[in-house]
Amino acid sequence: MKKIIVIICTFLLLSIANGCKSESIETNDNNIQNSTAEDNTPNDTVEENKDKIISYHFADKEEGVELLMSNDAYFDGFSKNELEFKMQKKDATIEEYKEFAKSQVLDFSDDHKALIDEYMSKIEQIIITNGYHLPQHDEIVFVCTTMEEECGVSAYTHGIQIYLGNKALDRFSSAETVDYTLDLLLAHELFHCLTRCNPDFRKDMYKIIHFTIQDEDFVLPSAVKEYYITNPDVEHIDAYAQFVIDGKPFDCYMALVTKNHFEKKGDLFFDTATAALVPVDGSEKYYYPEDAANFDDILGKNTDYTIDPEECMADNFAYAIVYGLNGQDGKGYNSPEIIEGIIDYLKQ
């Protein structure tokens, strides 16, 4: 549990995601360079004018506000508990939150645009050099915000919209030592966009960590809904896996919840957030990751960001892209079969 809470506070106060995360930002400008079975060193011979394989553009403030406010399904999912945590007051309303969120959208600075272009180019060169094939996707839209609307996270997504925090970009631009680099962050958020554009890709990725996707979203029981926190990176709660709890198998899906309600200003949901394992049978009783004897066997041990299969696989996808088969600095992985499965898919 401690690991779950710590990673939520770091990757989500990046804020699962995070989904929602303050992403702890290990820096090593060499993490693009990786002497693995996969060549993850950018190839300088790639033509500068080669058509981009990841199409994107930067939204200005006006477009960013419009895009953010278009995500009605996300806002409709807010619980009273979540609104109070995000607005830091009792009896907060969704109207108040929306007005606050709109005021957080910014224009990108030219320096931040150049930084994103630089790292997107590095990711593209890795993909080209290794002969990877990304699933088809629509044009990505980058939006800049203060991230106060998502409790200070570094990044999150809606649809094909990738929201990046100006303060996080400042850290990436500086000589400040960080432990989650921009290439990893961009690849992680890109994964969310790819799964939304390609349901079959999402199914195949989740299958690597033993999750099955059903046709419809699960309906949260009231006991879960009361403490539920939406994660903008997780658009659907429709995947389940079999967990062993008290020696018995349970088909469960995952949801982000807090263990306590908001009580006063200064209470942060990061301090009380965890993943819930919710049985698919609709019962009100749910469990926590430490209750499942096979939790690590299901989601692997490459990342602690295991609040949802979407976030777990987004991290693994980022590692596969940036570090390749042999991992960061050739140190390998605790669960190499996950990375192998991703790279095998990308080479099809």
Q: What is the pLDDT of residues 122-161, one digit of tens each?
A: 999 999 999 999 999 999 999 999 999 999 999 999 999 9
Q: What is the DSSP letter of 328?
A: G
Match 């290794």 to its residue by tokens: 130
Which residues have C-beta within 8 Å of that of residue 158, sequence separation ≥ 6? 67, 68, 71, 74, 232
Return the half-sphere exposure (C-beta side, CA atoms, 13 A cut-off) of residue 3. 12
Match 């895009």 to its residue by tokens: 67
Would you state the pLDDT for residue 347? 96
Which of these, 219, 54, 209, lies nearest to 137 by C-alpha position?
A: 54
Would you state the pLDDT for residue 161? 98
Task: List the structure tokens of 119.
Answer: 């790292």
Long-range contacts of 257-262 (CB under 8 A, 24+ apart): 257/224, 257/227, 257/228, 257/229, 257/286, 258/81, 258/85, 258/227, 258/229, 259/227, 261/81, 261/84, 261/227, 262/81, 262/84, 262/85, 262/88, 262/90
Task: List the structure tokens of 203.
Answer: 């199914």
Would you state the pLDDT for residue 177? 59
Would you state the pLDDT for residue 40? 64
User: Which domain range does residue 99 map to?
Assistant: 2-346
Question: 244 forms bridges with which residues in the sheet?
Answer: 249
Secondary structure class of 122 (helix, strand, coil): helix
- Is there a contact between 343 and 320 (Cβ–Cβ < 8 Å)? yes
pLDDT-flagged residues of the chain (< 70): 1-51, 175-179
Global confidence as pTM: 0.87
Would you state the pLDDT for residue 39? 58
| Structural domains in the chain (count) | 1
Would you state the pLDDT for residue 75? 96
Task: List the structure tokens of 291.
Answer: 């209750």
